[in-house]
Structure formats: C-alpha cells, structure tokens
Homo-oligomer: A and B are copies of this chain.
Amino acid sequence: MNKKIYEMHAEICKVFTSPKRLEIINLLRDGEKTVNELAEQACLLQANISQHLTVLRQNNVVTTRRDGANVYYKIANPKILQACDLMREVLLEKLAENEELAMRMS
C-alpha cells in the first residue's frame, strides 16, 4: 500500500540527481526566469536546458507561464527548496566534520 508512495517519491527524487537541474533550481530560488536566461546562467545548450526543464515540469517541481515568445519557469512549491536546502546542510555538515577529522589527524 505504501509501495506506490515510495515509487512516486523515488521518481520525484530522480529530478534531483542531476547537478545541472540542481543549479537550475537554485537559479530559480529568487523568482521566475526564461529558458534563455537559465541556459546562459547555467552555461548549458538551449536544447539541454529545455530537456532538464521538461523533467522538472513533468515532476511538478516547476510551473511555467508563457509571455509572448518567452516561457517563464518558477519553483512550484517552496517546500522543494526547503528540502534541497536541508540536504545541502547535511552534505556541508559532513564535509566540515571530515575536514575537522583530517585536521586532528595531521
């Protein structure tokens, strides 16, 4: 019964297994941006950023709005940013811990 939830949860998490997509999410932290702005700021080919954005959109991590020729992307739910930030904290805590350990060893 929970199986289905675990599967959906795992599916969403696949969104976060690409450094590029994490960068895109971070670029959208302070508000919406167009595909071109994102491509430029993340140093990615337009086709690839579009592919990543499709993955983000299909998993409801971002929503879109068209204005003329431009499409604006933004984070769908602030909790997504919170979750990402928590994981980053875990990562940074571990890095700090390992660094401290290395110091004590030397």
Once bound together, how far apart are the Cα atoms of A94 and B95, in whole Å? 34
Residue pair A87, B19 in contact (C-beta under 8 Å): no
Once bound together, how far apart are the Cα atoms of A22 and B6, in whole Å? 6
Measured CB to CB, the closest approach of chain B to A90, in angstroms, equals 5
Q: Chain A at the B interface: mostly helix, strand, loop or mixed?
A: helix
Of A9-17, A30-38, A64-72, which binds chain B?
Answer: A9-17
How many copies are assembled?
A: 2
Is A80 close to B, CB under 8 A?
A: yes
Is A79 close to B, CB under 8 A?
A: yes
Is A40 close to B, CB under 8 A?
A: no
Chain A residues touching B, range: 35 or more
Is A100 close to B, CB under 8 A?
A: no
From A88, which residue of chain B is reached at the shortest CB distance? B9
Which A34-86 residues sit within 8 Å CB-CB of chain B? Answer: 60, 77, 79-80, 82-84, 86
Q: Which residues of B contact A99 (CB under 8 A)?
A: none
Q: Which residues of B contact A7 (CB under 8 A)?
A: 19
